[in-house]
Amino acid sequence: MKIFNRIFTALVFLFLYAPLFVMMFFSFNEGKSTSVFEGFSFRWYKELFTTGDTMTALRNTLVLAICSAAIATVIGTITAVGIHGMKSKWGKKVLLTVNDIPMMNPDIVTGVSLMLLFVFVGRLIGLSNSLSFTTLLISHITFNIPYVILNIMPKLRQTDIHLVEAAQDLGCPPVTAFFKVVLPSISSGILSGAVMAFTLSLDDFIISYYTVGSDFQTLPLKIYAMTKKTVKPDMYALSSLMFIVILLLMVAVNLVSQDEKKKPQRRHTFPAKRVVAGIMTVIVVISIIFALTYENDDYESQIVYRSTYTQEYAGTVLNVFNWGEYISDGSDDSLNVNKEFEKLTGIKVNYTNYESNEAMYAKLKSDAVSYDIIIPSDYMIARLIEENMLTKLDLSKIDNYDLIDERYKGLYFDENDEYSIPYTVGLVGIIYNTTMVEGTPDSWSIMWDEKYSGQILQFNNSRDGFMTAQCLLGQDLNSTNKADWDAAAELLKEQSPILGARVMDEIFNKMESGNAAIAPYYAGDFLTMQEVNPDLEFFYPKEGTNVFVDSVCIPSSVQNYEAALMYINFLLEPEIALANAEYICYASPNISVVNNDNYSLKGDPYLYGTDADYPTQYYHNLDKETRDYYEALWEEIIRTSS
Amino acid sequence: MKKSSRNVLLNTPYVIWSALFVIVPLGIVAYYAFTDADGTFTFNNIKNLGNYGSTIADSLIYSFVATIICLIIAYPFAYFLANFSENSQRTLMLLVMLPMWMNLLIRTYSWMNILEQNGLINNVLTRLGLEPVQFLGTAGAVIFGMIYNYLPYMIIPIYNVISKLDHSLLDAASDLGCNSFQRIIKVIIPLSKPGILSGIAMVFVPSVSTFYISQKLGSGKILLIGDTIERFMKTSYNYNMGAALSLILMALILISTFIMNKSARDDKELIV
Return the CATH number of the domain spanning residue range A317-424+551-584.
3.40.190.10
Comparing CA positions, the residue from B158, B190, B135, B134 lying closest to residue B72 is: B158
Asked if the C-beta of B77 comes within 8 angstroms of chain A's C-beta atoms, the answer is yes
User: Can you give the C-alpha Rg of chain A in angstroms?
Assistant: 29
Angle between helices B53-82 and A2-26 (to 10 degrees): 120
pLDDT tens, residue by residue, A590-609: 999 999 999 999 888 888 87
Distance CA A438, CA B26 (A): 56
- Is B42 within a domain? no
Mean residue pLDDT across chain A? 87
Q: What is the pLDDT of residue B73?
A: 96
For A461, the enclosing helix (H) or strand (E) is: none
Q: Which amino acid is at A441?
A: P
- Is B253 within a domain? yes
Q: What is the pLDDT of residue B272?
A: 32
Q: What is the pLDDT of residue B271?
A: 39
Long-range contacts of B213-216 (CB under 8 A, 24+ apart): B213/B108, B213/B142, B213/B145, B213/B146, B213/B149, B214/B142, B214/B145, B216/A227, B216/A506, B216/B108, B216/B109, B216/B111, B216/B112, B216/B145
Of B81, B94, B120, which has the smallest distance from its Cβ to A9's Cβ? B81
Q: In this structure, what CATH number is given to the domain that contains residue B158?
A: 1.10.3720.10
Averaged pLDDT for residues A382-397: 94
Disruptive mutation site among A24, A116, A366, A518 for chain B (greatest number of B CBs within 10 Å) = A116
Disruptive mutation site among A16, A249, A365 for chain B (greatest number of B CBs within 10 Å) = A16
Asked if the C-beta of B5 comes within 8 angstroms of chain A's C-beta atoms, the answer is no
Q: What is the pLDDT confidence band of residue A298, given thresholds at 50, 70 and 90? A: low
A227/B216 CB distance under 8 A: yes
Nearest chain B alpha carbon to A9? B77
Q: How many domains does chain B have?
A: 1
Percentages (nearest 5) of helix, strand, coil residues in chain B: 80, 0, 20
Disruptive mutation site among B8, B18, B247 for chain A (greatest number of A CBs within 10 Å) = B18
User: Is a pLDDT exceeding 90 seen at residue A380?
Assistant: yes
Q: Is B31 exposed, middle or buried (0-12, 13-18, 19+ CB in 10 A)?
A: middle
User: Is a pLDDT exceeding 50 seen at residue B270?
Assistant: no
Backbone phi, then psi, for A550, in 5-degree steps? -100, 130
CATH of A426-548+618-641, one of 2.40.170.20, 3.30.750.24, 3.40.30.10, 3.40.190.10: 3.40.190.10
Q: What is the pLDDT of residue A170?
A: 84
CB A117 within 8 A of CB B24: yes
B7/A85 CB distance under 8 A: yes
Angle between helices A2-26 and A233-266 (to 10 degrees): 130
B87/A223 CB distance under 8 A: no
User: Is a pLDDT exceeding 50 seen at residue A328?
Assistant: yes
**Exposure string over A104-127, b if 16+ CB within 10 A, otherwise e:** bbbbbbbbbbbbbbbbbbbeeeeb
CB pairs under 8 A between A and B: 273
A68 contacts in B (CB within 8 Å)? Answer: none
Disruptive mutation site among A87, A89, A112 for chain B (greatest number of B CBs within 10 Å) = A112
A506 contacts in B (CB within 8 Å)? Answer: 216
User: Is a pLDDT exceeding 70 seen at residue A359?
Assistant: yes
For residue B226, the enclosing domain spans 53-271
Return the CATH number of the domain spanning residue range A54-216.
1.10.3720.10
Comparing CA positions, the residue from A131, A124, A627 lying closest to residue A364 is: A131
Distance CA B179, CA A608 (A): 80
Distance from CA of A302 to the nearest CA of B (A): 37
In this structure, how many other beta carbons lie within 10 angstroms of the beta carbon of residue A381?
26
- Per DSSP, the three-state class of A520 is strand
A358/B235 CB distance under 8 A: yes
User: Is a pLDDT exceeding 90 seen at residue A228?
Assistant: no
In this structure, how many other beta carbons lie within 10 angstroms of the beta carbon of residue B79?
18
- Per DSSP, the three-state class of B95 is helix
Distance CA A378, CA A437 (A): 33
**Which ranges of A267-336 would DSSP assign to H, the alpha helix?**
272-293
User: Is a pLDDT exceeding 60 seen at residue A126?
Assistant: yes
Distance CA A261, CA A540 (A): 72
B23 contacts in A (CB within 8 Å)? Answer: 98, 101
Distance CA A496, CA A420 (A): 37
Q: What is the pLDDT of residue A92?
A: 86
Q: Which amino acid is at A607?
A: L
Q: How many residues does chain A have?
A: 642
Dihedral over alpha carbons A363, A369, A375, A376 (to 10 degrees) = 30
B95 contacts in A (CB within 8 Å)? Answer: 13, 16
Distance from CA of B272 to the nearest CA of A (A): 24
In three-state form (DSSP H/G/I as H, E/B as E, the rest C), the secondary structure along A60-113 is HHHHHHHHHHHHHHHHHHHHHHHHHHCCCHHHHHHHHHHHHHHHHCCHHHHHHH
pLDDT tens, residue by residue, B138-188: 999 999 999 999 999 999 999 999 888 877 887 888 788 888 788 788 888
Distance CA A529, CA A510 (A): 10
Backbone phi, then psi, for A553, in 5-degree steps? -135, 165
A243/B110 CB distance under 8 A: no
Strands A348-354 and A390-391: unpaired
Asked if the C-beta of B167 comes within 8 angstroms of chain A's C-beta atoms, the answer is no
Averaged pLDDT for residues A194-216: 88
Residues with Cβ within 8 Å of residue A299, at least 6 apart in sequence: A336, A339, A343
Q: What percent of chain A has pLDDT over 70?
A: 95
CB A461 within 8 A of CB A434: no
> Residues 177..196 of B with a Cβ closer than 8 Å to A: which?
none
User: Can you give the C-alpha Rg of chain B in angstroms?
Assistant: 23
Nearest chain A alpha carbon to B198? A104
Comparing CA positions, the residue from A225, A558, A211, A547 lying closest to residue A384 is: A558
**Exposure string over B209-245, b if 16+ CB within 10 A, otherwise e:** bbbbbbbbbbbbbbbbbbbbbbbbbbbbbbbbbbbbb
pLDDT tens, residue by residue, A72-117: 999 999 999 888 888 888 888 888 888 888 888 899 999 999 999 9
Which whole-number Å values give the CA distances from A69 to A253, A286, A449, in the listed order? 19, 19, 55
Distance CA B3, CA B189 (A): 44
User: Is a pLDDT exceeding 70 seen at residue B255?
Assistant: yes
In this structure, how many other beta carbons lie within 10 angstroms of the beta carbon of residue A57?
21
Window from A559-573, B3-17, B37-51, B63-77 with minimum mean pLDDT: B3-17
pLDDT tens, residue by residue, B104-138: 888 998 898 889 887 888 888 988 988 888 888 89
- Is B28 within a domain? no
Distance from CA of B53 to the nearest CA of A (A): 11
CB B99 within 8 A of CB B235: no
Asked if the C-beta of B222 comes within 8 angstroms of chain A's C-beta atoms, the answer is yes
Comparing CA positions, the residue from B50, B215, B223 lying closest to residue A634 is: B223
Distance CA B40, CA A595 (A): 57
Comparing CA positions, the residue from A41, A577, A534, A363 lying closest to residue B236 is: A363
- Per DSSP, the three-state class of B41 is strand
Window from A100-114, A268-282, A535-549, B187-201 with minimum mean pLDDT: A268-282
User: Is a pLDDT exceeding 80 seen at residue A576?
Assistant: yes
Of A81, A239, A356, which has the smallest distance from its Cβ to B106's Cβ? A239
CB B132 within 8 A of CB B126: yes
A101/B118 CB distance under 8 A: no
Comparing CA positions, the residue from A117, A119, A72, A121 lying closest to residue A99 is: A72
For B66, the enclosing helix (H) or strand (E) is: helix B53-82
* Domain regions of chain A by residue span: 54-216, 317-424+551-584, 426-548+618-641
**Which ranges of B101-238 would DSSP assign to H, the alpha helix?**
104-115, 120-127, 139-163, 167-175, 180-183, 189-191, 193-208, 212-217, 225-234
- Per DSSP, the three-state class of A478 is coil
Nearest chain A alpha carbon to B230? A108
Backbone phi, then psi, for A585, in 5-degree steps? 75, 5
In this structure, how many other beta carbons lie within 10 angstroms of the beta carbon of residue B251?
10
Nearest chain A alpha carbon to B225? A108
pLDDT tens, residue by residue, B64-93: 999 999 999 999 999 999 888 888 888 898
Q: What is the pLDDT of residue A165?
A: 81
Disruptive mutation site among B95, B101, B222 for chain A (greatest number of A CBs within 10 Å) = B101
Give bridge partners of residue A348 from the DSSP assignment.
A317
Q: Which amino acid is at B230?
A: E
B220 contacts in A (CB within 8 Å)? Answer: 458, 460, 501-503, 638
Averaged pLDDT for residues A219-242: 82
Which whole-number Å values give the CA distances from A525 to A62, A94, A230, B213, in the listed order? 34, 56, 12, 25
The beta-strand segments (E) located in A568-639 are: 616-617
Comparing CA positions, the residue from B224, B237, B160 lying closest to residue B195 is: B160
- Is B147 within a domain? yes
